[in-house]
Amino acid sequence: MESKILKYATETFENEAAAVKNLSALLTDDFEKAVKAILACKGKVIVTGMGKSGIIGKKIAATLASTGTPSFFLHPGEAYHGDLGMIERSDIVIAIANSGQTDEVLKLLPYLEHNGNTLIAITGNPASILAQHAHFHLNIACDHEACPLNLAPTTSTTTTLVMGDALAIALMKERDFKAEDYAVFHPGGSLGRRLLTRVKDVMRSDNLPCVSPHTTLGEVILAISNARMGIAPVVENGKLAGCITDGDVRRAMSRYKEQFFNVEAKEIMSRSPKTIAAGELVIVAEEMMSANKIHSIIVTSPDNRVEGIVEFFNVSMPR
């Protein structure tokens, strides 16, 4: 039997999910017009709202900013006491208020009208003052808040958040915004690092365990061990001729037994090792390692000289 507490959670999920699902039925041409207006905007998108609406507004502004739409949040109270100077004539303002009657937001309307700003209203009341004064209205109405008193903004903040996400996604698709573009705005995150960092930035280029085709496997083991790497490039006449991995060494031990230490590198080396250029993106190295089930790639110059080695733990990171 479901406990009362779990039932409360389930009812909340169902209430908010139903409201989100109903948003599609509330969409009008204003949504498309709002997206096109933002695409044509020469300035910024400024999001404003009070209380819980303001908190959601901050998230919407952050999402827009990180997905190619210059945007920031402006507190309506601060705006009314001097920060209106942040709003330029070329900017678009997204004002959020579930009731559409929030006093601090309504006080901004005369200035926005005088300044000639395009106003997008996100409210749950199309007949409200804010909705009526907006150029475009996005309806986020819900029949009932998840709050049992129907007072605390719960379902209405969820529908507001989803409407903001819908705006951001529509803008991304219209701009053909790609992962590489996203990474530019997130250089410090794992995605940004994977998409912006080059192999030369993470490869090891000093004290490489390079050996010749005539190096004995005993010496190869020492080279790999001393370098603390899992691969030894085999170099002949200054150019890459092959490679030996620690796996190759283990298999050779089983095959050659007591003759192992006298076997030369050329007998067991791979003659077609996977290589990559120093200027390639780290994500390319990561994909090569994953596809070939290897942990190291030799970095080579255009004339096939060894420049470094890049290892899995240097390029692999959370997505």
176 burial type by CB count under 10 A (0-12 exposed, 13-18 middle, 19+ buried): exposed
**Residues 31/138, Cβ–Cβ less than 8 Å:** yes
Domain 196-315: which topology? Answer: CBS-domain (3.10.580)
Q: Which amino acid is at 267?
A: E
Q: Which of 66-70, 99-103, 192-196, 258-262 has the highest mean pLDDT?
A: 99-103
> Whole-number mean pLDDT of the chain?
91
- Look up the CATH superfamily of 4-177: Glucose-6-phosphate isomerase like protein; domain 1 (3.40.50.10490)
Q: Is the pLDDT of residue 196 over 80?
A: no
With 0-12 / 13-18 / 19 or more C-beta atoms within 10 angstroms meaning exposed / middle / buried, residue 265 is: buried
68 three-state secondary structure: coil
* Calpha distance 285→291 (Å, rounded): 10
170 three-state secondary structure: helix
Q: Locate 119 and state its tokens.
A: 């106003």
Which range of 64-68, 175-179, 290-294, 302-306 scores highest in mean pLDDT? It is 302-306
Instruction: Count CA atoms within 13 Å of residue 81 on its CB side.
Output: 4
Phi, psi of 271, rounded to the nearest 5 degrees: -90, -5
| Residue range(s) occupied by CATH 3.40.50.10490 in the chain | 4-177
Give 56-60's long-range contacts (Cβ < 8 A, gap of 24+).
56/96, 56/157, 56/160, 56/161, 56/164, 57/94, 57/96, 57/164, 59/161, 59/164, 60/94, 60/96, 60/160, 60/161, 60/164, 60/165, 60/167, 60/168
Per-residue pLDDT tens digits for 3-16 = 999 999 999 999 99
> What's the DSSP call for residue 178?
-
pLDDT digits (tens, 9 = 90+) for 212-226: 999 999 999 999 989
Q: What is the pLDDT of residue 281?
A: 86
Residue 190 reports pLDDT greater than 70: no
The CA-atom distances, in angstroms, between 263 and each of 84, 222, 240, 245, 270 are 79, 14, 20, 15, 15
Q: Which of 42-51, 187-196, 295-304 has the lowest mean pLDDT?
A: 187-196
Outline which parts of the chain fall under CATH 3.10.580.10.
196-315
Site of tokens 């053909």: 176
The one-character DSSP state at 140 is -
**Whole-number Å distance between alpha carbons of 113 and 83:** 16
